[in-house]
Amino acid sequence: MWQAGDNIGAEVVNEPGAITWDDLRTPDPDAARAFYSAVFDYRTEAMPEAGDDDTLVHLPGDDAPAGGMGGMFGAPDGTPAHWVVYFGVADATAAVQVAERHGGTVVAPPFDTPYGQMAGLMDPQGAMFWVAQVDTAAQPDRSG
């Protein structure tokens, strides 16, 4: 855990090159929602377009979602719970091409979602992350 001081953490969010979203993936989403709601006073809401297990997470008093929580989305048995980070990009297809040129691996090629085009990547050391084409005008202000 971390207690914010004068800075909420990331100085740049919701634009190309910055974190734009994060999801908790867990084999027991109900237990995770109960835990995070009790410890951090998060409010969760169903996100039907993403599946039965998926919910949006809201910080206390904030209508804009801060992230999501849900099931494992077909991860192999034994995969531990983990956070998935999404980085904003201006063009998901171009970002995938740059990643491949620099030693990255495409785990999920660009595809359209209700939230914009996304792709799954792995860096040369094996860390997985996602890129999401962002419309900066549609993002909540998280500047602190």
How far apart are the C-alpha atoms of 142 and 93, rounded to whole Å?
26
141 assigned to some structural domain: no
Q: What is the pLDDT of residue 29?
A: 94
14 assigned to some structural domain: no
7 assigned to some structural domain: no
Print the domain residue range for 118: 19-72+80-135
Number of domains in the chain: 1
118 assigned to some structural domain: yes
Q: Per the structure block, which two tokens stand in for 1?
A: 């855990």
Residue by residue, pLDDT tens for the chain (144 residues) are 777 788 777 777 778 888 888 999 999 999 999 999 999 999 999 886 776 788 999 989 988 888 999 999 888 889 999 999 999 999 999 999 999 999 999 999 999 988 889 999 999 999 999 999 987 555 555 555
65 assigned to some structural domain: yes
6 assigned to some structural domain: no
Q: Per the structure block, which two tokens stand in for 57?
A: 């997470």
CATH (domain of 53): 3.10.180.10
- In the DSSP assignment, the letter for residue 142 is -
Measured over the CA atoms of residue 71, residue 72, residue 73 and residue 77, the dihedral's sign is: negative
Q: What is the pLDDT of residue 115?
A: 80
